[in-house]
Each structure stands twice: as C-alpha cells, then as structure tokens.
Chain A
C-alpha cells in the first residue's frame, strides 16, 4: 500500500477529511522549505503538495507565479526540489509528498531518471498540470511506486473521465473552478454534484478538491463531500507577506485553523 493510500484509509476510519496544503519549493528561499513542510505537518496537514518552480506556470495565478519566480531566483531546480524532499524524509517517514508542476523540467530530466530519483528521495505522487492522460506517463511512474495524480475539471467529459480513472492512482484532483490557481469563484453546488460521479468513475479512489479554496469555512464546506481539500495560493500569500522570522508561525497558525474547521464537523 502506498503512503498516499495508507493516509486515506487511516483518515477514512477516523472519518476525517485530508488537508493538503500546497507550497512552492524554494519559496521564499530553499533554506525555509523543509521547516515550512514540518510546520504544515504539525499544523495538521495530512499530505503536502510541493510545487516545482517553472519559468512559465501557465495554469497558475499571480500568487504562485510570484512564488515560482522567487524560487527560480535562488536557482531551485528539480534536482534541488528532490533533495529538499529527501531532507524532509530524514525526520518524517509518514506524510506523503506529491510533486506538482509542469511537464518540461521532468521531461528534460528524462522520465525514468526522474522516477527513480523521485522514489529514492521519498516522493509519493506526481501531478503534472500540462501532461494529459493521452501521453500515458503513469505507466512509466507506476513501477517506481509513484502515484499519478490527474486533474478533473468541470469541463471534463464522461468518456475522458474513464480514461483518467484508468491511469490515476493515489487520489483524483478535482479542479473546483474554471480558471487558474488562486481564483475565487468556487461553486459549492457544482462540486457537491460532481464528486459522487468522479468517485464512481474512479472506482472509489479518493477525490480531493482544490483551486479556489481560500478560507477555513469554504474548506469545511467542501470537506462535507470531498475526501481531501487542497489549499495553495492562500498559503503562498501568507508566506509572501510574512517576514522570515514570522513565516513558520504564520503558516502554522493559518493551517491549524483550517484543520480545526475541518475536524469540527466530524
């Protein structure tokens, strides 16, 4: 059983919703990434989505674009991101880490080379925003025990849903709105309607919801029907506006509040 599966099955018996914060690796600087990851875990994160900085983050809004630019200024590349995960693993063996990013840095490194190094570093899953299931990359990652996370959107057709489900593992990521990360026009009713359909198509793979969740209240509302909530831009903004000294506390406080709201509805 993969670390991601274990996490979801534990949460299921506890009847709790997974909280998955996103941060960009290397933001605000690479020395703070691992401490921020630990702070997220102690605030109640069940899994971490770690962004791989890219020069052209086409699916991201301004907050994550700026985070990516900050990380790139420090020279953070894919190898460095993997080293940060390995460092995190020296004191955390249980919290799954999913890399989220764009195809080119991964395809430039080479899929096999990446898969092997990612596995060795302790990565659990990979979400490449601009890599559609038609490219069949999950097949390459599977032998290394890496889960392939795919996005499903409000515009995904039923036939495509089948194709995605046939390759997805770990969980399925439902993009709760049409737009880039950090937007805020989430439609709760729409999400509530879609999730059972995705779950059915995914043969009961857990369904996480993200893009557009910016506060504890919305997270809790989504948590009523989703298996996981993913929160990115709002946390990245917290990092951006915090001083170096305050960043760990601020992130921890903000995420802990979301945790509380999620758990309050058990």
Chain B
C-alpha cells in the first residue's frame, strides 16, 4: 500500500490533519495547495527539484554499515542513512529546497520559517540565499541560547533571526510567531514550514519532499546489505525525517517502522515531548488535529527534551494515523539514553550525530543486542551534531569558551 491516497482532499489522514486556521490564511493555503498540485505534475519543476538535490544538496546521501558499533552491541547489524552528510547537515534541506522552488514559482520574494534546533532555520536561510530571497527565521529565545552556532550560521547566510519570548520560548512559540507574520504579510510571503505538520497541505508536501530519503534506501539497501531492512528507525519531533524514510516502506509490510519520540527526563515525570508514546489525547494546535500534549483544560503543555528539535508538544497528523492503524510503532528515548548513543557513535564510528538523531540511535542500541546477527536495523541519521557540542559540553560540565 503506497499511501499516496492520503491525505484526502481536505487534508485528513483518517481523523487527523485538516486545516484549522484563521480565515485570513485560508485562501493562501488554497493557493499553495493548487500550485503544489500543478508543480508536482510539472515535469520541469520536478526535474529542477531533483537537479538541486543532486548538485546542491549532494544527494543521494549514502547508507553506511556501522560495523564497529554493531559488533560492540553484539546483535543486529545497524545501517545509517546519512542525512547528516547533506549540505547544511540535516534532512531539513530536502523540504526547504522543495518549498523554496515553490515560493519562487509563486513569485514570493520573502520566506519565513520557524526553527527549533536551528537546522530548519539554517536550511531555509541557505535556500533563501541560493535564490536571492529575503528571509526571517523565528526561534524561541531559549533555543537561541542552546543552539548558538546555528544562530550565527543563519545570520552569515543573510537571514534575520527573530527571538520569540512568548509562551515557553521554544519551537511551538516560534511556530505561533511565524504564523502571525504570515497572516500579516500573506500576499508577499511564503511560509517554509519545517516539519510534516501544520495545516493542509503542509504535512503532505513536506512528506513528499522528504520521501526522497526512503526512495533512496529502497535501492541502496539491496545494493549494500543484499536486502531491505527488518526495521526502520527514525526520531520524531514534528515527524518529517521519520515520514521521509517511512513513506516508501509503507508498501513493504514486513518492514517494521519505529518512530522515536523524546522521553526527556522520563515519561513518568511529565517532562518529555512524546505525545504518541505517552498516550496523549487528540487536540488541535498549529492548524491541524493530532495527538497533543495538553492539560485537562485543553491548554498545551510545556515540553522538555535535551534536543531542541524534538521539543514539541504535537506530532504530524500522518504519524497519528500510522499509530492508530498500527502500521508504525512509537516509543520514547530519554535524554540520558540519547546522550549515551551520541557518545557511542562518536567513538565507535567517528560520526558526531545530532541529539535529535541520537534518540533514533539509542532505540537501535536498545534493540540490536536482542536480535540475531543477521538482522538489519536501518536508522535515519537525520543530522550531524556540530550544533550540539555546546549542549553536550555543558551537560558534561565543560565550558567551551
């Protein structure tokens, strides 16, 4: 079942998704949906997208057999999809590129984006520079403090970084602020959304642009490992890298799909960012219905994760739907476990992973020892960890300055 039949034309994946926005944005979303449909059917547009991915982003990204780490764990073979090797260092550029091409096609001169870890902000600032567009990035004040290298990168690329001090001062508030900018400047501005969430058509178009990850794995795995993996593992913030690698494997029912949310200090503490794994109820935030961390009054809860990119109380609607239909499983990995996997990958394979991706790695490290040596785990290494060295040093009590 390759699921290009979801979402339906109102943006629903089963009971999730839709478009819950203030009236002013409705026509802009309608325009975006129509233009995207035309672009997708336009061979020239798709060829340009592929060309940019190949020559600018550096795709295909390799798959790598993490042999030393697998041996040390003593079980299944772990393969890594190296999205960290993309230009700008994460999967975010795939979708930022696709959306920037759409923005240009629609004649928009300015792009805006929200960012948590700063990876999507950097990717957006990068494509804005590439196409000569004005760029404003909204980022929570707390995230600016913990991801300072990325803030400087965005500025180098010519973007204006706007600190968001409302609410919990993290990703969800940056998204609120980006929406406010968009509603005010809707005619001139294209909103490059960073994850497979938001109002229709964003969850669909972000998925489609990220689907290249799984499409490549589909031919790379037989080439390198002789067959498809038994399990595909990806971290889930809003869900874009996960849906990107899952999408092609939906048609392979024997491949287990596991999404890894941020368990923070532990699901029992309430200090986490794991709406799916913690069994949160459904709600509406940021223009779509999905599982949502909220209190008894329907107020959105503050979240906690060591990784800014996973620090989000909601989750893209397609993941909610995949959870309900049991096609994918969702688990949580705590801060400590993620940090352990971070260090292990540095030492065993010479790869510094993003803290977000380290959650997926930690899940693989948990499963591998219990599995046969010829079992195959494919982990989406969604980004590199250079941006996180301050956070990791701080946690280890080391000052870098």
Residues of A within 8 A of B (CB): 54-59, 61-62, 65, 69, 72, 77-79, 102-109, 129-132, 134-135, 150-157, 160, 175, 178-180, 183
Contacts and interface: CB of A to CB of B under 8 A. Distances in A.
Given A77-B297, A109-B298, A58 B179 contact: yes
A175 B18 CA distance: 23
Contacts of B186: 155, 178
Contacts of B340: none
Nearest to B30: A157
Interface stretch (B21-29, B57-65, B137-145, B219-227): B21-29
A124 B27 CA distance: 29
Contact of A157 (B27, B176, B292): B27
B283 A107 contact: yes
B287 interface: yes
A3 to B, nearest CB: 25
29 contacts: A56-B173, A56-B176, A56-B300, A57-B176, A58-B176, A58-B179, A59-B183, A61-B180, A65-B166, A69-B167, A104-B299, A104-B300, A105-B297, A107-B283, A108-B281, A132-B21, A151-B23, A153-B24, A153-B26, A155-B23, A155-B26, A156-B23, A156-B27, A160-B27, A175-B22, A175-B23, A178-B183, A179-B183, A179-B184
A157 B300 CA distance: 32
Nearest to B19: A132
B285 A180 contact: no
A151 B294 contact: no
Interface string B151-191: 00000000000000011000011001001100111110000
Most buried by B among A58, A150, A160: A58
B286 interface: yes
A104 B298 CA distance: 6
A58 B10 contact: no
Contacts of B180: 58-59, 61, 179-180
A106 B26 contact: no
B218 interface: no
A132 B298 contact: no
Contacts of B284: 102-104, 107, 130
B20 interface: yes
A105 B284 CA distance: 9
A72 B28 CA distance: 32
Contacts of A78: 297-298
A-B residue pairs, 3 tightest by C-beta: A108-B298, A77-B297, A105-B298
Contacts of A57: 176
B184 A153 contact: no
Contacts of B24: 151, 153-155, 175, 178-179
A130 B21 contact: yes
Contact of B26 (A58, A102, A107, A156): A156
A151 B297 contact: no
A121 B317 CA distance: 35
A72 B180 CA distance: 21
Contact of B172 (A56, A79, A109, A150): A56
Interface residues of B, number: 37
A54 B183 CA distance: 19
Nearest to A107: B284
Nearest to A72: B299
B263 to A, nearest CB: 22
Contacts of B166: 62, 65, 69
A108 B299 CA distance: 9
Contacts of A134: 10, 18-19
B140 to A, nearest CB: 13
A6 B252 CA distance: 62
Contacts of B19: 132, 134
Given A55-B300, A61-B180, A107-B298, 8 more contacts: A69-B167, A77-B297, A104-B300, A130-B287, A155-B27, A179-B183, A180-B183, A183-B184
A130 B300 contact: no
Interface in B1-46: 10, 18-28, 30
A72 B300 CA distance: 11
Given A55-B167, A72-B299, A179-B183, A152 B23 contact: yes
Contacts of A160: 26-27
Contacts of A178: 24, 183-187
B23 A58 contact: no
A154 to B, nearest CB: 7
A77 B22 CA distance: 22
A102 B287 CA distance: 11
A152 B26 CA distance: 10
A180 B184 CA distance: 7
A247 to B, nearest CB: 23
A153 B23 contact: yes
Contacts of A55: 167, 299-300
Nearest to A78: B297
A76 B283 CA distance: 19
Contacts of A179: 24, 180, 183-184
A134 B199 CA distance: 13
A104 B313 CA distance: 14
Contacts of B22: 58-59, 129-130, 151, 153, 175
A254 to B, nearest CB: 25
A103 B23 contact: no
Most buried by A among B186, B281, B284: B284
Contacts of B167: 55-56, 69
Contacts of B176: 56-58
